[in-house]
Each structure stands twice: as structure tokens, then as C-alpha cells.
Structure 1
Amino acid sequence: MRLEIMAIVPLALLGGCVEGRSSMSLSPAPTVAVTAVAETEAVATRNADAADDPAIWRNAGDPQASLIVATDKKAGLYVYGLDGAKRSFIDAGRVNNVDLRDDVRIGGRAGILVVASDRSDPAHGNLALFRLDPVAARLEALGKIPALAGEAYGLCLYRAADALYAFLVMKDGTIGQIALDLEGATPQGRLVRTLHLASQAEGCVADDRSGRLYVAEEDVGIWRFDAGAAGPVEATAVAKVDRVRLFDDVEGLAIVPEGADGGYLVASSQGDNAYAVWQLVDEEYVGRFRIEAGAVDGTQETDGIEIAVGDFGPAYPRGLLVAQDGDNAPAAQNFKLVSWADVERALGRHPSERVAPE
């Protein structure tokens, strides 16, 4: 079903709506501040909106040797170390969003799969696939999979029991779910279903544990779909653009998993340079934070975000948040690295500071 009219959605579903009051008359919700620990080298494309979306590979054996893969949507893909230094670059054209999964069978052997939305042809969106070599910190191009008509925009991966899927979000709000077949010499994909939002969308993230897909419709809000290939296609509203908790444009989405199906959903509230957080289980609003200047400058107009939990070394003991910085003047755009423990602490969610119920 194509969702055309927001007014038909019950207000109770649109987290952030305040009954009886126009959001235009309200002030933004309280917003706490954190600072970045480090930043990446700037992308090479200057004087343009170029850096866009990151993905994180955690090296379980040596967390400080973990890697960040990030897009320059005018040119290709960078691989960075946790010190922010560029380890490599691959000329991949106009790749916009990126995601990865570890321990994937690629051509008969296990590897790290990186997939990006390829918008080089504005009339037809493709998936661009790569293998990440974690030792050399380099990407090897595997090929492209034709996907949907139109301009490719957002991208996220979903690992189900039966297959590995890519969700490709087209600029007009169409979302294609593509089953990936990586066993042969050339990657193949099969479109298994199509979902729809009514206007421009980009950011998406899928929860492999619960089988939920979250998509950001930029001027409207955040929607949830069943990620199963045979699941219903209707969308459920999670949060609306109310200019209190969530501002347009709604951009990158990330999940912070805890336990079997808990944790948080984090969204880039690009319109006011902030990030909004909801619980995953009940989708209750948690709070907002900004990345302000500290050891390095803060972030503005963030597009893509990614969060990975676990030990990434002393600077990131509980996880790593990577956020695109849309204004890194006088240099070109880049990405900021934030300790997830700092965000938890600022929001009053750090485990050591939680008060046990009486």
C-alpha cells in the first residue's frame, strides 16, 4: 500500500506530537551535549556536499585496528582507521550510502561484504558491492547489481535466516528489497518486493534481531516496516517531524542493540544539528544530543550516522558513533568519532549511573 496522506495516521503513533498544541509554537526539546574524540581526514572533494555515510567494521581480535568505510558521494569510498587517518580510497563513482556485514560467504569463502547505493546513473539505481580486506584496509570491487528505476539514495543491509538482503531506498520514496546471491564469480540480486513512502527518503537501518526495518522520510518522519521478504508492506509511524524532538530533514539512522531485541534507534535531526533517540522495544522517546566543539570541532547538518557497540579500545569502551560533518570549514567535509559511552552518560543512560527500581 502506498502511503499518501499523513493525516490518517493516529496521533498516538507519531511519537513527539503534543496534544492540543501546535509544534510551531513549541521550543526544541532539551538537548544535551557531547564532544568528538577524533575526526577523519577530509574527503578530497572540496567546496561541495560530498561526505555522506559511514559504516563500521569492528576487529574483535584487536578493537583498535577496527575500520570505518565512508562515502564521498561525488567520487568513491574511503577506508579510515580509528585515528581518522585515510588508509585507502577506491574510485567508485557516485556512491551515496554504505553498509557492511562481517562473516559473509563471498565467492565460496568468508569475508567482509560492503554494499553501497550507486547513483551514477540517475535513471537506474544499482548496488555496488565490495570486499573489505581488513589487513590491507582496502576495498576490492566485486561488481554492480541493477536494482530499480530512478535515482538510488539510501542503503542498508539485513541478515535474515534465509538470506542476506539489501534495502535500496530510491529518492522518490520507493524501497526495493533485494536478495543477494554471492556464491558465484559475479554477485547476483533478485528484487523480492517493493515498499513505498510518499516523498523523498534516504536513511534506513534494519535490525537483524527483530526483523524490523526503519526508514527516514526526510520531511515527514521515521517509519517502521516488517523486514521479512514475505512480510506486510504497510508502514507504521515511529516519530514525526514535529520540530520539537525531530527536525526536517531526517537523515541518517542507526541502531544500538542491547540484548535480544532492546537498545536504541538514533536519527540525525539535520535541521537543527542534533540527534534524537528512541528505545527500540516500545519506541518511547529517550532524548536528544548534539556533538559540539571539543578536541575537534562539532558537527553540523549531519547526513549519515553509524553506531557499533562493543570495545573499540580505551577511547570507545562501550561503542563507537561515527557522524558525517556537513561543515568542516576551512577543510572539506569529514566524519567525527564519538564515544557511545559519552552519549549514554549525557542522556542518563550509562549502566553505571542507572538507578535500580525500588
Structure 2
Amino acid sequence: MPIETRIANATPAVSVTARGETVPVGTSNADAADDPAIWRNAADPAASLIIGTDKKAGLYVYGLDGKVRDFLDAGRVNNVDLKDGVTINGTSGILVVASDRNDPLNAKLALFRLDPASAKLTALGTVAGGAGEAYGVCMYRDTAGVYAFIVLKDGTINQIALDTAGGAASGTIVRTMKLGTQSEGCAADDRTGRLYVAEEDVGLWRFDASAAGGLTPAKIAAADGKNIVADAEGVAIAAIGEAQGYVVVSSQGDNAYTLYRIADESYVGRFRIAAGVVGGTEETDGIELMLGDFGPAYPGGLFIAQDGFNAAGAQNFKLVAWNDIKASLGL
């Protein structure tokens, strides 16, 4: 179906503009930039960092000014997530996990430590993620430990218990779930114990994130060509309080982003990122969102979206203030 028809059928979306953007990834004229993750510097919010994947080449570290602080050649890493306060080689640190598809038949997790002072990544090794092509990844932490969910291209979701206490990466698959078709984006909510996964042509699902949880998902929303226009891609969480907030999914088919309320999973609204000081976004894969102070430009929170058609020729990531999204949607 032509994109004009898909947009015409879709639920209307309000427009916001990005306040910043990253330097394009190094792989030009290709579908390369894919997924971001955010580390918030509580002591100096404006010095927070962004991790972004070039799925043909490796991992970038950006400042909020969009400039490259580091690049690590990690090969074909697709999605990325991180957790602060994880024990790494006996000390608390920032653990970065990427879905590694250098071997398309055998998925892996590639683990790294992020040094917030130097903005450098250090490789910790890889962990087996199951048979199949690695696609999505998201991290989760509860009282039992730290986990990564790796979403394989065929819709298999493996939950992996991670151990970096000794420095080197190790992990064990503790649970396997399955969606029927190609899936990628995911986000896990430490507060509520919920895992959200986007099945590209079907819609948004919710699982119990506990390692002892059930295997059957609940459908939150269908990719019906209205609120979500296939593909359903990136997933992010706006965490408010102990259990409130929103789940956001990239409605890639009509260049929009759709919000659902966490409390009752009801539809909230949709927005697009239009051209302004920097360009807009199209065909977004990965998204990330974190609320809180990120300095003068992003005082209420930061939303990041991959831009599939950046005018510079190579794809990049657009940075949007959560306050602008809130105001546009009347939240």
C-alpha cells in the first residue's frame, strides 16, 4: 500500500519539532542507524550521554550536543540498551548490552562497560542468545538480578540472566517466549514487571517480565493501520511515579509515534517529528525515552528517534524535548 494511503487512513497525529540531532553514523547511503539508549548524568544532566547503533559497523557514544564522543567497532549490532548501577568486575558501573548479529544463525548479546567520565566503551565479551538472527534487545532488573531480553527476527524472545560481577560477560537463558512473526522493538519496566514487545505487522504485546512469569502475552494494540501503521518498530517507556506513565511505539508505516497509558493500556494520542531547527523523522526504527532533567534544552525529559531519511545522506538520531510532546498532546 502506498505510504500516502496509509497516512490517509491513520489516526491524526500532532506535530513536534526536534531540538537537536546527532552527527550521522559513518555508514552512508544505507539503512544503518537503528537504535538509541540514554544514560542520564544525575550530577550534571546536560553531560548525559546517548549510545546509538550503526548496525553495519558498531556503537557510537554521543553527547547531548549530538557530537561523537566515542565509536567502538563492534560489527553488526542492531539494538542497544543499558542499566546503571550494575556490578561489573566488583564495582558499580553502567552496563551496555547490544544485540549482536555478526553470525545471523546464532544470536549473541555483546556487553560493554560505559565510562561516564571519558564516554568510552570497553568490551566485556559476548553471551549466547539462542539460535537465530539477533534483532531487538532491552534490559530488565528486579530483586532476582539483571536480565536482557533478546528478540530474534522470527519472534522468539529469550530472557537471559546476566552476570558481570567478575568482569567478563556471562549469561544463561532462563525463559523463552514466542510471537508469531517478525518482531524487534522491546522495553521492560522495572517498576511494574512488564515487558512490551512490538510484532511488526501485528501490534504491541505485553508479557510478565519475571523469569518465573507466564509465556502467554496480552495484546495491547493492533497494527490496524489507524493508531499503529505497520511496521510497529521501536518501543519506549515514559515512567511516571511508581506505576504510571506511557508506552510509546514507533508507527513506522506513517512516520508517527503512538502513546498508550500504562495503567489501563488505553490509547492516548499520536505525534510526528516535523522539520524545524533540524529535520524531521521518517521510517523510524529504534526510539528511547527517559524523563527527568537533561539540562536547559531538555528539562523534563528526552525522547530520541532514529531518522530513516536524514538529508545529510547518512542516517542519524533526532532529539526531542518530552515537554514539547506533553504540550502538543495536552498531557
When the two structures are superposed, what TM-score results if normalisation uses the length of structure 1? 0.90
Distance 1:161 1:75 in 2: 35
Shift of 1:331: 2.5
2:328 to 335, 346, 353: 346
DSSP-derived class of the 1:327 partner: coil
Check if 1:71 corresponds to 2:50: no
1:150 corresponds to 2:128: no
Query: Which of the residues 220, 232, 242 maps onto 2:224?
Result: 242
Residue 91 (str. 1) matches residue 82 (str. 2): no
Give the alignment partner of residue 13 of structure 2, picking from 8, 28, 31: 31
The residue aligned with 1:9 is none
1:177-196 to 2 correspondences below 5 Å: 177-196=159-178
- Verify the 8 A CA contact 2:188 2:194 in the aligned structure 1: yes
Partner residue in 1 for 2:120: 138
Q: Secondary structure at the match of 1:180?
A: strand
1:1-358 alignment to 2 at 5 Å? 27-349=9-331
Cα shift readout 1:74-114 (whole Å, capped 9, x = no counterpart) = 00000000000011100001000000001110011010000
Relative to 1, partners in 2 of residues 1:46 and 1:168: Cα closer, same or farther, differing over 3 Å? same
Report if the CA contact (8 A) 1:26-1:244 is conserved: no
Distance 2:222 2:200 in 1: 10
Q: Give the Å deviation of 1:329.
A: 2.3
What is the percent sequence identity of the aligned residues?
63
Q: Which has the higher strand share?
A: 2
Question: 1:341 aligns to what SS in structure 2?
Answer: helix
Note the residue ranges of structure 2 that are not aligned, 5 or more in a row. none
Cα root mean square deviation, aligned: 1.3
Report the residue type matching 1:72 in the other structure: D
The CA deviation string for residues 98-155 of structure 1, in whole angstroms up to 9 with x for no partner, is: 0000111001101000000000000100000000011111100010011200100000
The code of the aligned residue for 2:87 comes to R
Cα distance in 2, alignment partners of residues 154 and 218 from structure 1: 12
When Rg is computed on C-alpha atoms for both structures, the one with the higher figure is 1
User: How many residues are treated as equivalent by the alignment?
Assistant: 327
Relative to 1, partners in 2 of residues 1:24 and 1:302: Cα closer, same or farther, differing over 3 Å?
Answer: closer
- Greater shift, 142-151 or 177-186, is seen at 177-186
The answer (yes or no) to whether the contact 2:6–2:229 under 8 Å persists in 1 is no
Runs of at least 5 residues in structure 1 that lack an aligned partner in the other structure: 1-22, 350-358
Offset of 1:26 from its aligned partner?
7.9
Change beyond 3 A, Cα 1:297–1:232: same
State the distance in 2 between where 1:329 and 1:229 align: 43
- Cα gap change, 1:234 to 1:345, in 2 (>3 Å): same
Check whether the contact 1:39–1:334 (CA below 8 A) recurs between aligned residues: yes
Deviation sequence 1:217-245 (CA, Å, 0-9, x none): 00000000000101111010000011111
- CA distance 1:297–1:195, shift in 2 (3 Å): same
Letter in 2 for 1:180: L
Distance in 1, Cα, partners of 2:224 & 2:132: 29
CA distance in 2, matches of 1:27, 1:230: 41
Structure 1's 320 and 25: CA in aligned 2 closer, same or farther, altered over 3 A?
closer
CA distance in 2, matches of 1:135, 1:331: 31
SS at match of 1:228: coil
Superposition TM-score, scaled by structure 2 size: 0.97
Contact conserved, 2:7 with 2:254, CA < 8 A, in 1?
no
Residue type of the alignment partner of 2:170: Q
Question: SS of the counterpart of 2:118?
Answer: coil
SS in 2 for 1:271: helix
Query: Does the CA contact (< 8 Å) of 2:279 and 2:311 recur in 1?
Result: no
